[in-house]
A and B are shown apart, each in its own frame.
Chain A
Amino acid sequence: DAKTTQPPSMDCAEGRAANLPCNHSTISGNEYVYWYRQIHSQGPQYIIHGLKNNETNEMASLIITEDRKSSTLILPHATLRDTAVYYCIVRVQNDYKLSFGAGTTVTVRA
């Protein structure tokens, strides 16, 4: 699996955009970038995923650099309920497991 590097923690002000970086410099051409989050010991929650192009859904936007060596998850208007551990995962072709690292603990402050 391509390894990912995320900052261990970050703070964000409520109502502001939260930009979560992830480095995956060894990613292969057919590996996808997935983002999940886990709110206080609940089951991990899928957020978004992408291969090359930027993606947006109702939860977040995913920006992948042209060389695909890094990506940024953007939560456009963070709320207190977005406080969670965010995991950036690269998924190997034909490998069905998700390999979770330590993630980024995001704390949204009022």
Chain B
Amino acid sequence: DSGVTQTPKHLITATGQRVTLRCSPRSGDLSVYWYQQSLDQGLQFLIQYYNGEERAKGNILERFSAQQFPDLHSELNLSSLELGDSALYFCASTPAPGRTDTQYFGPGTRLTVL
């Protein structure tokens, strides 16, 4: 158990809908990272937040957005969902955005878009 929690574990929805994935970092960790793992793209970095502010951005679609709240949990919002958004979504956390900080991953949310 990494200490990172994610809800829900599974999510099934239809195209065009909007969903919110939630992540709670390890106790004391200030930075949260979101990754997407699809069958054809592998694990890809989406976005990072540190203490409530966006810190780094990867190949995140404009239909996707994220935020980190004062209690440090983070939410990833996916809108206008397409079939290709079906994937595993992981979050990870670190104490501070130092380059040698180890990222610990949560169990993931499996999103299925029908």
Contact = CB atoms under 8 A, between A and B. Distances in A.
B108 A46 contact: no
Interface residues of A, number: 23
A53 interface: no
Contacts of A43: 2, 4, 90, 92, 105-108
B36 to A, nearest CB: 11
Contacts of A87: 43
A45 B105 contact: yes
Contacts of A92: 99
Chain A at the B interface: mostly helix, strand, loop or mixed? loop
Nearest to B97: A96
Nearest to B90: A43
A80 B48 CA distance: 34
Q: Which residue among B4, B43, B92 has the maximum number of chain A CB atoms within 10 Å of its CB? A: B43
A83 B88 CA distance: 20
Interface residues of B, number: 28
B102 A49 contact: yes
Contacts of A45: 2, 105
Interface string B16-31: 0000000000000001
Contact of A97 (B56, B88, B102): B56
B84 interface: no
A100 B58 CA distance: 13
A66 interface: no
A95 interface: yes
A55 B106 CA distance: 25
A42 B108 contact: yes
Contacts of A95: 56, 99
Interface string A83-107: 0000100011111111111100000
Contacts of A93: 99
Given A43-B4, A96-B48, A32 B100 contact: yes
Given A32-B100, A46-B104, A101-B42, 12 more contacts: A34-B102, A41-B88, A41-B110, A42-B108, A43-B108, A91-B99, A96-B55, A96-B94, A97-B33, A98-B35, A98-B45, A99-B45
